[in-house]
Structure 1
Amino acid sequence: MTSTPIPLAGVVQSADHQSAVTAIYDHWLSASGLPGRYVPLTISADDLGEVIRVLPRAGFVGLNITRPFQRLVLDHADIITDRAALMSGANTIIFRKDGKIHADNTDGYGFIENIRQGAQGWNPKSGPAAVFGAGRAAREVVAALLEVGVEEIRIANRTRPRAEALRAEFGTRIVVTDWVKGGNIVEGAMTIVNATPLGSPGQQDFRVPLDGLTRGAVVSDLAIAPEITRLMRVAMQMGCYPVDGIGMVLYQAAPAFERWYGRRPEVDQTARAVATGAYSS
């Protein structure tokens, strides 16, 4: 009698990256009653192409890809979605039954879905957005906000040329402001996003003046920890709708799980508790 192989999924990570995402997928597999395993894989950039070509033969149905491999993995994909091409990187790999390697990026989807669920009734066209940061996370946020119809995105970054590069790429709906005047961009903004590491453990505090926050605005902090950042705390005090970073992790992970295992997982309070516990441990 032959046994049915257990479908495997995994995360390709650098040697110094500890993936709490493993706990999320393990929870969803258990909650769904599905056979499967989620496996952390630490490999070198030089071996990436060779390894991902072999993994389907070992029973893998897909992978998550962490930095710094997200751009590099595109060189080894047969199919690249428009989202992954726009982001110049993929966070999700699907090993198709026809043998092709499919690269996608679900970060933008996760960001928007997290806001829609965390601040129900959010209207992207209700006013300008203010984004702090100009790195990869900010780029994903900007692309996602433009896609859903935000008409003006104000950006402040500690290194102005990086913000100017986003404006050059995404066009005149981007307005760049010097970091020292960052407090100005929240005035009248209805969506505010911290896409910097500031405020996370081991980082400097997020000290941008927030007295210009508009009551009823949606304020999203992409920081995973602490669970309630200074930005979110101030947002609540000023009558805004705070949206944390844990939800984005969950909502970007859900479509990958569905592509691999054929079932959409629940992003519920139990999943949030698992994710919060994993990132705080």
Structure 2
Amino acid sequence: MNDHDGRPLVAGVAGWPIAHSRSPVLFDHWFGATGIAGRYVPLAIRPERFAEVYRALPHAGFRGINVTIPHKLDALRLADEATEAARAIGAANMICFAEDGRIVADNTDAYGFIENLRHAEPGWRPETGPALVLGAGGAARAILHGLLEAGVPEIRLANRSRDKAEGLADAFGPRVACVDWDARAAAGAGAMLVVNATSLGMTGKPALEMPLDAVPDGALVNDIVYVPLETPLLAAARRRGLRAVDGLGMLLHQARPAFRAWFGVDPQVDDGLRRACLPGAA
């Protein structure tokens, strides 16, 4: 399992816990589709051991790793180099290990978010109107970066804790404006995109209460939650006749740059991959 540079075709995903991750299924599907004899392994790393293991992985033959909770901040902080996207988002989810052992941090969550919308709704045009984003955690940071880079003219940001939203608005500039959580429904007026970047609606969590009456016809509603695939927000959007996009595609698309960087092939996000990665699929 080596290529021309002699390094093993091995990568993985680091988190704590990690057993729930769909990334090994995703990469195994791509190995089969591309004919690459690679390996992608789950790495359950305790937070107190992360720095030690992280620095050892390049010397163990790994080409790179994906990083998930709770290691994304440390993965950026401990890297030798970082891309503009990783610095802007303030976290890393993709790491490349150079042949000389350097650790290069990147963040592909914004790319995955935008590509999911474009793939699911080819007619979506980010410049056509404001976006309303609910949530101010790490996922929201990536989404704000992606939307601003894509050309959305205005982002309305609502979070249950307003001070966190204000901190993000300050960090991302004048095109991001805070709205009170209690005013989120009214903030949908004129918004051509509504995004749930919270965990509300996820299996085991309370539902997101988000009336869509003020959202204009033709708007796109996206929920980054994908367990369940059809959240209450997406069901409500479909009842209103709005376009609805689930969160699974963000997971799938954010992995493409990693596969390309580590294994030299640009894989496809298609129906077969979606079926393989659906929650509950073997």
TM-score range, shorter chain: over 0.9
Give, in whole Å, the separation in 1 of the partners of 2:76 and 2:199. 26
The answer to whether the 8 Å contact 1:9/1:38 transfers is: yes
1:99 maps to which residue? 101
> Quick one: which of 193, 199, 202 aligns to 1:200?
202
Between the aligned partners of 1:36 and 1:124, the Cα distance in structure 2 is 37
Does the aligned pair in 1 maintain the 2:201–2:231 contact within 8 Å? yes
- Partners of 1:151 and 1:262 lie apart in 2 by 35
Q: Equivalents in 2 of 1:125, 1:75: separation in Å?
A: 33
Unaligned regions of 5+ residues in structure 2, if any?
Answer: none
Paired residues of 2:191 and 2:215 also in contact (CA < 8 A): yes
Which one-letter code corresponds to 1:222 in the other structure? I
Residue 39 in 1 paired to residue 41 in 2?
yes
Residues 181-208 of structure 1 deviation map (CA, whole Å, 9 limit, x = unaligned):
2101111100110001111100001112
Instruction: For 1:27, give the aligned amino acid.
Output: H
Aligned residue among 124, 133, 139 for 1:131: 133
Q: Tell me the distance in 2 between the aligned counterparts of 1:74 and 1:198.
A: 27
Shift of 1:45: 2.5
For 2:153 and 2:220, the matched residues in 1 are separated by: 16
Q: CA deviation at 1:255?
A: 0.8
Instruction: Give yes or no for the alignment of 1:27 onto 2:29.
Output: yes
The structure-2 alpha-carbon separation of the partners of 1:124 and 1:91, relative to structure 1 and needing over 3 Å to count, comes to same
Superposition deviation, residue 48 in structure 1: 2.1
TM-score between both structures, scaled by the size of structure 1: 0.94
State how far apart, in whole Å, the 1-side matches of 2:249 and 2:182 are. Answer: 30
**Structure 2: distance between partners of 1:136 and 1:94:** 21
CA RMSD of aligned residues (A): 1.8
Cα deviation for residue 5 of structure 1 reads 6.6
CA distance in 1, matches of 2:140, 2:17: 25
| Residue type of the alignment partner of 1:65 | V
Asked whether the equivalents of residues 6 and 35 of structure 1 are also in contact (C-alpha less than 8 Å), the reply is: no
Distance 1:116 1:15 in 2: 31
How many residues are matched?
279
Q: Secondary structure at the match of 1:247?
A: helix
Query: Which amino acid is 2:57 matched to?
Result: L
1:196-239: CA deviation from partner (whole Å, max 9, x where unpaired): 11111000011121111211111110001111112112222222
AA paired with 2:69? R
Secondary structure, counterpart of 1:158 in structure 2: coil
After superposition, residues 150-189 of structure 1 pair within 5 angstroms as 150-189=152-191
Q: Who is 2:276 aligned against?
A: 274
Are positions 1:57 and 2:64 aligned together? no
After TM superposition, give the deviation of residue 252 of structure 1 in Å: 0.2
Q: Please, which moves more after superposition, 105-114 or 15-24?
A: 15-24
How far residue 157 of structure 1 moved from its aligned partner, in angstroms, is 0.9
Contact 1:155–1:185 (Cα < 8 Å) also in 2 = no
Deviates more, 1:91-100 or 1:258-267: 91-100
Deviation at 1:16, TM superposition (A): 6.2
Letter in 1 for 2:178: V
Whether 1:10 aligns to 2:20 is: no
CA offset at residue 6 of structure 1? 4.2
